[in-house]
Structures are given as structure tokens and as C-alpha cells.
């Protein structure tokens, strides 16, 4: 269960558990893809970068769930977003450089959906951390 600052605990817990599962599943899917990429010099480079960036958001989200403050939470979900944006680039590079037939459509779609979630989460979290106008 992930402690939160923004929503009622039970509701957020189920949402955060679902998001954590999606991030893990996304990382697993990317790792499976990496195993299928040909390991010539270009393929090895793309595969390594993709494996790193696609598995990072799940770990960073776990860090966000244990954030020590609202500012720390915002910072850590921004890292998740940054890693997902990088992953989006590596997925597109893999699609173009490592040949078709890798079946990247569902991974690219999930990456885009996760990016949308973290963009919205970042906006909401930033708004909640601003001090009230006096």
C-alpha cells in the first residue's frame, strides 16, 4: 500500500496499487522486447537504453510512495515522467532501427497512457503543494 497526501486512503491505495502493477507490467513487456532485439551494435545500444528507462518508472514510483514530504513526492513522480518520456523515444528508435515485426504498438500505447497519467499527477501534486494565498 502506498501512503498518499492527496486522496482518501482506500481509494488512492487501490489506484496506486493499479498504477504500480501497470508500471511493473510495462517494464516486463519492455524487457521481453529487449530480448527479441537483434544484438548488433545498434540493437545492443537501443536494447540497453530501453531496458534501463522502461524499468525505472516502477522503482521511482515506489520511491514516490515513500516520499518524506509533498515536495519529495512531486520530485519523484516527475522522475517517473522523465523516464517514461525517454522510454517513448527508445521505443520509437527500436521500431525504426531494429526492424518491424517487434510488435511495439501495445507498448507504445501503454507508454503514452502512463505519460498522460504522470503529466496529470504532476499537475495535481504541484497544485496541492502551493501555499494557500493569504
Say if CB 89 and CB 49 are below 8 A apart.
Answer: no
State how far the Cα of 30 lies from the Cα of 57, in Å rounded to an integer. 12
The CATH number of domain 9-126, selected from 1.20.1440.60, 3.40.190.10, 3.90.1150.10, 2.60.40.10: 1.20.1440.60
Every domain of the chain and the residues it spans? 9-126
pLDDT band at 130 (very low <50, low <70, confident <90, very high): confident
Quote the pLDDT of residue 7: 43
Distance CA 115, CA 88 (A): 9
Q: What is the pLDDT of residues 78-126, one digit of tens each?
A: 999 999 999 999 999 999 888 767 778 999 999 999 999 999 999 998 9
Give the pLDDT of residue 128.
84
Q: How far apart are CA 37 and CA 90, in angstroms?
A: 12
Angle at CA of residue 40, ends 89 and 52, nearest 5°: 40
Model pTM score: 0.84
* pLDDT tens-place string over residues 65-79: 999 999 999 999 999
Average pLDDT value for residue range 23-33: 97
DSSP label at residue 66: T
Amino acid at each position: 500500500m502506498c501512503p498518499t497526501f492527496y486522496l482518501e486512503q482506500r481509494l488512492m491505495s487501490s489506484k496506486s496499487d493499479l498504477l504500480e502493477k501497470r508500471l511493473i507490467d510495462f517494464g516486463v513487456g519492455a524487457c521481453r522486447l529487449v530480448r527479441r532485439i537483434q544484438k548488433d551494435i545498434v540493437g545492443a545500444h537501443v536494447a540497453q537504453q530501453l531496458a534501463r528507462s522502461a524499468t525505472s518508472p516502477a522503482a521511482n514510483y515506489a520511491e514516490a510512495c515513500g516520499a518524506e514530504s509533498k515536495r519529495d513526492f512531486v520530485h519523484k513522480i516527475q522522475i517517473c515522467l522523465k523516464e517514461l518520456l525517454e522510454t517513448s523515444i527508445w521505443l520509437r528508435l527500436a521500431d525504426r532501427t531494429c526492424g518491424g515485426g517487434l510488435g511495439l504498438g501495445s507498448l507504445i500505447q501503454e507508454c503514452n497512457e502512463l505519460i498522460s497519467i504522470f503529466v496529470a499527477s504532476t499537475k495535481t501534486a504541484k497544485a496541492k503543494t502551493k501555499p494557500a494565498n493569504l
